[in-house]
Amino acid sequence: RRAEFAAIRALPPITKDGLRATLMVNAGLAEDAAQLDLSGADGIGLFRTEFQFLISAALPGRDAQYRLYRQVLEAAGDRPVVFRTVDIGGDKALPYLADASDESENPAMGWRALRLSLDRTALMKAQARALIEAAEGRILRVMFPMISEPWEYEEARALFEAQIEWVKKRKPGPAKIEFGAMLEVPSLAEMLDQLLPRVDFLSIGTNDLTQFLFAADRADPRLALRYDWLSPAILRFLRRISVEANAAGVPVRVCGEMGGRPLEAMALVGIGITNFSITPAAVGPVKAMLRSLDAAAVQAKVAALLAKPPRDMRKTLTDWARRHSV
Ligand code: PEP
Ligand code: MG
């Protein structure tokens, strides 16, 4: 199948009935950006900036951060790059940031990501400055991880805006800046009416979102088979978010691993989600799925299935895909 994926590398991720999806990739290193051409993706939908922190022996300074972001933007050229501010803390222990090496019993639900950034504003200011300066003359796209309530987004955004003002008094700065929210904590889904008017895009982190929705540790192999990304609870939850965001005119992307599996991605198209940021190796398989799919047909099918869920959604969708040569 590798040859089949290579053959469609230059072709768009478009369904049989003409729906243009977007396939972007998740990345975290400068080398990943250099691979962009190879994957034939539309851009980088999630750049995990914490990778640089995790592989460094000391806290990366503003210059080191600037150099990485600049390199990534240059490699991406005209294609968009969405930078996520650091998701450190919790189980991502950093020796040089002692109090972030959390020994709490539930590190995934602990002092991590935006929670840590909002409490350690010097760290976040340095990152903001590095991003703003690296994106000089271009569009800067930033999103914040682990937002539980809209005020956290507002605080993070205000911090960035203050840095933009500071930079713009001295240099040209970015041509434009787009702010996004990651939706990976279920409480935020209940507050979309407050959040949506304030964001340029929404990115759903299905890895964290499903572990919180099911109260099931994503790293525990004993639970891996028990909860399924194709469960009606998840699909209904995601559909609610996508419907609300669509109504508000806010683009939605799924950036968790779920979108990188062809059957799951098919189900996501079924609930109206057509923007994906996935691992580079999944671009070929997901694109092949999309190009063989009738989006209107899967939307009708998934709507019927979610109204009256079958016992085994995975089997039902697998059978449907096979019958429709997806
Ligand atoms: C997610 O939670 O789905 C996500 C994309 O972020 P990460 O996997 O880095 O936590
Ligand atoms: Mg996450």
pTM (2 decimals)?
0.97
User: Residues lining ligand 1, judged by CB closer than 6 Å?
Assistant: 46, 48, 87, 184, 205-208, 255-256
Structure-token match 């840590």, residue found = 116
Q: What is the mean pLDDT of the chain?
A: 95
How open is the CA angle 278-179-140, to the nearest 5 degrees?
A: 80
pLDDT of 215 reads: 94
Q: Model confidence over 223-249: pLDDT tens digits?
A: 988 889 999 999 999 999 999 999 999
High-pLDDT (> 90) share of the chain, %: 85
Predicted local distance difference test score (pLDDT) of residue 141? 98
- HEC string for 238-286: HHHHHHHHHHHCCCEEECCHHHHCHHHHHHHHHCCCCEEEECHHHHHHH
> Quick check: ipTM above 0.95?
yes
Nearest CA residue ID for atom 1, ligand 1: 205
One DSSP character per residue, 120-157 reads -HHHHHHHHHHHHHHTBTSEEEEEESS--SHHHHHHHH
Q: What is the pLDDT of residue 95?
A: 77
Residues 75-109 have pLDDT tens digits of 999 999 999 999 998 777 787 876 665 567 788 89
Per-residue pLDDT reduced to its tens digit, 288-321: 999 999 999 999 999 999 999 999 999 999 999 9
How many angstroms separate the alpha carbon of residue 171 from the centre of ligand 1?
Answer: 34
Instruction: Indicate the top mutation candidate among 208, 211, 229, 264 to test ligand 1's pocket, ranked by most ligand atoms within 8 A of CB.
Output: 208
Using the mean position of ligand 1's atoms as its centre, give its distance from the Cα of residue 40 in Å. Answer: 22
Q: Which two tokens stand for residue 198?
A: 């304030």
Q: How far is CA 163 from CA 64, 198, 246, in A?
A: 18, 18, 31
**Mind listing the pLDDT tens digit for each residue in 40-83?**
999 999 999 999 999 999 999 999 999 999 999 999 999 999 99
